Chain A
Amino acid sequence: MIDILTHFPNLWGELPVFLDPFQLFTIPLQEWIEGIVDFIVDNFRFIFQGISVPVRFILSSIESFFIWVPPTIMLIAIGLLAWQIAGGAIAIYSLIAMTLIGYFNAWEETMTTLSLVLTAVVLCAIIGIPLGIAAARSDRFESTIRPILDAMQTLPAFVYLVPVVMLFGTGEVPGVIVTFVFAVPPLIRLTNIGIRQVSQEVVEAALAFGSTPNQVLWEAQIPLAMPTILAGVNQSIMLALSMVVIASMIAVEGLGQMVFRGIGRLDIGLASVGGISIVLMAVMLDRITQAVGKPTQNLSWKDRGPVRLFRSLTQNQKPASST
């Protein structure tokens, strides 16, 4: 076989056209896309710059707040929040994880990454939940949006990294946008599924008593779909965290940058610190958001965690002061 090829190097070139029809022409997809992107960059860049203003505002407010808060106070806040939402065990885990991250000397990077993830997830919720509701209400919209969502999830992030940079520049805002594109599909899908899964009879009951479509949505569908929607938020957070390293390629600061720089310098230590910190934080965020979706106890939030402790303390003081 190899002999034949070396003896007749032009064997394939001599094939008739009908056996290799691809030599006829090439679809200039590259040029087309370049042209389209250039056209958009030249004419509509101001729109994307406009979009980046509110995103930058949310991001920089969250980030500067997180970095301004002293670590001890942040630790206490995270601990209390985790205790209230997810119970004592997760709270202890969160405290240990965040303390470790602090002693790894990765605190500031963690806060940057946390604020980036939060901003992306807020954006996902603002845009994804209404789209999911729209998809649940209209079969046609659902079948239109489904291939787009598939594309958003399967298209390698590197591919849209370049046009995003051309439109938004480098830095944290395009980082949020890239993360958003990757993290929003499960939220849209799960919102859609959650609302469609609400018992037909409950929806009929709401309608039979004269509810408007909006009342059906707010009184029955959204509250009953809430666990599924929150599972979607949880998925968004997880996917957003997984984008952190890729986003660091377009100059996004944070834990991803530690990993990226570590890889570039073959500094296994630096990359590992970044990676381990990401995992510690991911597990913490996952457990906390999962607990929002399904409260394990049937107790109301007032009878759980620190709020209950606080209430029982203040109630114990009352009889003491009256005597």
Chain B
Amino acid sequence: MADSNAKIRIENLVKIYGKNPYPALKLFREGGTRDSILKETGKVLGIADVSFSVNQGELFVVMGLSGSGKSTLVRCINRLIAPTSGNIYVDGEDVAHVSKERMRDIRRTKMAMVFQKFGLFPHKSVLENVAYGLKVQGMGQAERDKKAQDTLEVVGLAEWSNYLPSSLSGGMQQRVGLARALATDAEILLMDEAFGALDPLIRRGMQDELMRLQAELHKTIVFISHDIQEALKIGDRVAIMKDGYIVQIGTPEELITQPADDYIQAFTQDVNRAQVLKTGTIVRQTVTVILGEDSVNAALDQMQQHELRQMYVVNRQGRPVGLVRRSDLEQAVQEGQNDISAVMERDFPQVSGSTSLEEIFHLYEKRRSLAVIDQEGKFKGVVEQSDVLASIGRLTAKSKEETAAVQDYVAATV
């Protein structure tokens, strides 16, 4: 295994619809496009040589317009659609080439699926629906009912267990679909446009709910979506598909800041960049004063040297403890005060690197820059108001250069 962390690894996956796809496959290998293959053989190219891997615990979104092959892709992973060529490794086992019996076993224990139109059994109660995967596994009635009831508790539908799905609203029905998938304890969730059929408000609620559950459960999720906002909001990484092939794979920030081509850029054009970009990606590394080591004079020297107006004070563990301004330091030097803790402002804004830009606007006041900290609370650098404004501006030709400069700066310093 090249990447031991990969839960699902797809290599050179090709799907061509129809009986006897091999002439069309040959044509594709010789460089045929989707249109030329359709013209010559009448076969539809569903997936065109796709390779990627999904890591353990990752929420991986496959995004594309209808007909881009994203639903075909997710169905190949649990082989509801048989791939024409290529390999799909799940925990190192090639599910594209295992026996039917083994595939059934994998579906029962390793992967569960959530469907766009919910795919609930309309003749079974909510509880029976949630317990279905367990029933197929061969679990006894009492045990599976208990487990299904517990799972319904998790999605907040405990009181609805004896109703039929038709008496529930769309959002509630999809919670049942989600509970059915969670009940089997499968490590992999395949979600095929799971929130696509819901109202916008309900959809947002479900996205938050999914992210909350994911923070607790750390499933490996392949999430299909046609909504770029949704993809960028929930995805750890996003793959964008077009005409059966993958155009770009990257984190939401990468897709926004470094679109691979005009297609991606057109997609991300209307996206609220402040929502997607994280503070950590535009952080500016800077010099700091270390509390208890540096004197007021040393701090002032540094500031003059780097032409700074303010500096953060960190303790010996690297955590920010205060902010000093140049004017205050100059005054302190005149007064002969040499203790930094006496002149620093202890009340300063700090945010973690994973906070989106949208959430930090209100923190800017009194011309202070923001202290950005990492997961352990250590000082990573600062973000100034001008950095934020520069990064959320539209990518015009001019600002593209600026953004690239910021990126280079971050890449060089982080």
Chain A residues packing against B (C-beta within 8 Å): 199, 201-202, 204-212, 215, 219-220, 223-224
Contact = CB atoms under 8 A, between A and B. Distances in A.
Given A201-B115, A215-B136, A207 B107 contact: yes
Contact of A209 (B75, B116, B123, B136): B136
Interface string B110-132: 01110111111111000000001
Contact of A210 (B75, B104, B117): B104
Nearest to A220: B121
Nearest to A205: B119
Q: Which label, helix, strand, loop or mixed, suits the secondary structure of the B interface?
A: mixed
A207 B113 CA distance: 10
Interface string B169-189: 000000000001000100000
B17 to A, nearest CB: 15
B69 interface: no
Contact of B132 (A199, A201, A209): A209
B133 interface: yes
B119 A204 contact: yes
B288 to A, nearest CB: 54
B78 interface: yes
B121 A205 contact: yes
B117 A209 contact: no
B281 to A, nearest CB: 37
A202 B119 contact: yes
A224 B136 contact: no
Given A202-B122, A219-B121, A220-B121, A208 B113 contact: yes
Contacts of B184: 209
Interface in B338-358: none
Nearest to B132: A209
B119 to A, nearest CB: 3
Contacts of A202: 119-122
A206 B120 CA distance: 9
A220 B121 CA distance: 7
A67 to B, nearest CB: 39
A195 to B, nearest CB: 14
A211 B137 CA distance: 9
Interface string B73-117: 001001010000000000000000000000011111101110111
Contacts of A223: 123
Given A215-B136, A219-B132, A208 B112 contact: yes
A209 B121 CA distance: 13
B122 A210 contact: no
A132 to B, nearest CB: 19
A215 B134 CA distance: 13
B193 to A, nearest CB: 11
Contacts of A201: 115-119
A207 B120 CA distance: 12
A220 B129 CA distance: 11
A239 B80 CA distance: 41
A207 B121 CA distance: 12
- Nearest 7 interchain pairs by C-beta: A210-B108, A205-B119, A210-B107, A208-B113, A201-B119, A209-B133, A223-B123
A207 B136 contact: no
A205 B107 contact: no
Contacts of A219: 121, 132, 135
B122 A208 contact: no
Nearest to B109: A210
Nearest to A223: B123
A220 B119 CA distance: 11
A224 B116 CA distance: 20
Given A202-B122, A224-B123, A210 B113 contact: no
